[in-house]
Structure 1
Amino acid sequence: MAKKTSGRGQRDLRVQVRTARGRKLSSTRWLDRQLNDPYVRRAKANGYRGRAAYKIIELDDKYRFLVPGARVVDLGCAPGGWSQVAVERTNALGERAGKPQGRVIGIDLKPVDPIAGAELHVLDFLSEAADAQVRAWLVGRADVVMSDMAASASGHKQTDHLRIVALCEAAAELAFDVLEEGGTFVAKVLAGGAETGLQTLLKQRFEKVSNVKPPASRADSSEKFVVATGFRG
C-alpha cells in the first residue's frame, strides 16, 4: 500500500511504499523509486513513454544533433520515448512552419505501438542485410543513429557490461554503414573497462567522441552515453 507523506513546508508529497504481503523487498524499493522519481512524473505529464526520453532530451540540449530536417534511426526503439523526442525536435510531423521536415525510423525486434511522425519497423539490426534495408527505408543515409538498447540482465555485472558493449559495437558498425558524412552516433554503454575498444573505434571514424552521464540517468546506475559527432564517412 502506498501512503503520501510530506514534511513541514514541503509542497511536493512523497509516496511512501509499505511492504505488502508476498512482495519482495527489492520490488518494494523499485516501486518506491518509481513512484517518487521526478522524471517518471514528468514523463507521464508530458506524454512520453518513459523517463528515458529525458536522457536524449538532455543529450540533445548539449550537443544539438536532433535538428529540424534530420534523418534519424532509433535502434531498439521500444517503448518509443526516444523516437517521440526525435519526432518533435526534427519536425518530422512538419508542424513548424518554415523549418525543414525530418524523418524518424524506429527499429525493434518486436512491434512497437505507433508513434505519430515515426516510421516503426520490425527488424533485427544484427542481420546481414539490415544496413541496406535501413538505407532503403530512408532512401539515402541518416544524420543520426541512436541507441538506448541494453542486453538482457544476467545478474552478473561484468557479463552484463560485456554484453552491452558488444551490442553498442554492433550498433556502431551499422552506423558506419548508414550515416551521412558529418553525422552523429549516440549510444548507451555501461562503465566497466571493456568499452576502451569501442572508444578507439569511434575515435577513428568521428571527429569528436564524448562520454556523458545526463542528469536523467540515475546516480546509482553505471550507465553512460557515448556521443560521437562529425562522422568522417
Structure 2
Amino acid sequence: MTDKTPTKGTSGRGQRELRVRVKSAKGRKLSSTLWLERQLNDPYVIRAKKEGYRGRAAFKILELDDKYGFLKPGARVVDLGCAPGGWCQVAVGRVNALAERKNKPVGTVLGVDLQEVEPIAGAQIHQLDFLADDADALVKGWLGGPADVVMSDMAAAASGHKGTDHLRIIALCEAAAQFAFDVLEEGGTFVAKVLAGGAEIGLQTMLKQNFDKVANVKPPASRADSSEKFVVAMGYRGRGKAAQDT
C-alpha cells in the first residue's frame, strides 16, 4: 500500500510534486519496503514506463551512446544477456533497425540470453549461451557477418559477499570481451558493465591491448550508491594486429 506525500518544490503548473511513500506491510522486510519506495520514486523508472522501455537500464546505454556515438545507423549490434530487452530497444532505434529513417542505412540488432525474452520489434532474439563453443559462429551467421558493437549489461548472480560478486562480474566481463574478440569487425566497439573493486586491472590491460581507446564511465542513470561502472572500448584492432602489438 502506498500514499503520496507532498515534497518541497512545485511543478511548472503550480501543483505540488508528490513523493510515493510505501507503508510497511506484515511479512515484508524493511529493506524490501525501502527498495520498493526507491523504485516508485526513481525518475528513470518513471521515464522508462512513460517512454516504453523495459527497464531503467535503457537510459544507461542511451547516455553512453550520447557520449561516445557507437550505435550508428547501419551498425550490426550484439547484446549479450539481453533480458529484459531495454538495451536492444535503444539499439533498434539508434541503428535504424526498423528502417524508419529512409535516408539512413539499416542496422541489425541481435539479442542473446540464457532465458527466453519477449520479442522486441526490430531485433532478433535468440536463446543462447554465449560461452558455447559454436556461439560466435552462430552469431556471425545470424548477423550476416561480423559485429560493429558487442555490448553487455550482464551481472552474475549475487552471493551477498561483495568481494566474491566483484570477482564474478569481472570474470563474466572478461568472457564477454573474449567473445567480442571473435565476432567484432576491426574498428568495432565493446561496451560492458563492471564493478569497481580492484580486480578489473587485468580486464583493463586486455582491452587496452586490443582496442585503440578504452574509457571507464559511470553514466548519470547509474545509481550513485552503486559500485557499477561501464567500460567502453573503441577501435578494435583485430586478433592478428593485437597479437603483433603486444
Q: TM-score surpassing 0.5?
A: yes
- Once the two structures are superposed, residues 124-160 of structure 1 have per-residue CA deviations (whole angstroms, 9 ceiling, x without a partner) of 0011111111111111100000000000000000000
Q: Distance in 1 between matches of 2:222 and 2:180?
A: 24
Match of 1:207 among 199, 204, 212: 212
- Once the two structures are superposed, residues 50-85 of structure 1 have per-residue CA deviations (whole angstroms, 9 ceiling, x without a partner) of 000000000000000001000000000000000000
Tell me by how many angstroms 1:7 deviates: 3.0
Tell me by how many angstroms 1:18 deviates: 1.3
TM-score of the pair, normalised by structure 2: 0.94
Aligned to 1:6: 6
* 1:142 maps onto 2:166 in alignment: no
Q: Distance in 2 between matches of 1:213 and 1:9?
A: 28
Give the alignment of 1:18-57 within 5 angstroms.
18-57=23-62
* 1:86 maps onto 2:91 in alignment: yes
- Secondary structure at 1:30 match in 2: helix
Give the alignment of 1:94-173 within 5 angstroms.
94-173=99-178
Number of aligned pairs? 233
Tell me by how many angstroms 1:5 deviates: 1.1
Unaligned runs of 5+ in 1: none
Cα 1:230–1:15 change in 2 (3 A) is same
Aligned to 2:190: 185
Tell me by how many angstroms 1:10 deviates: 2.8
Q: Distance in 2 between matches of 1:149 and 1:7?
A: 36
- Secondary structure at 1:183 match in 2: strand
- Secondary structure at 2:149 match in 1: strand
Q: Distance in 1 between matches of 2:97 and 2:113?
A: 19
Tell me by how many angstroms 1:8 deviates: 4.8
Q: Distance in 1 between matches of 2:150 and 2:8?
A: 47
- Secondary structure at 2:39 match in 1: helix
TM-score of the pair, normalised by structure 1: 0.99
Tell me by how many angstroms 1:9 deviates: 3.7
RMSD: 0.7
* Worse overlay, 20-29 or 43-52: 20-29
* Worse overlay, 125-134 or 150-159: 125-134
Q: What code does the residue aligned with 1:103 have?
A: T
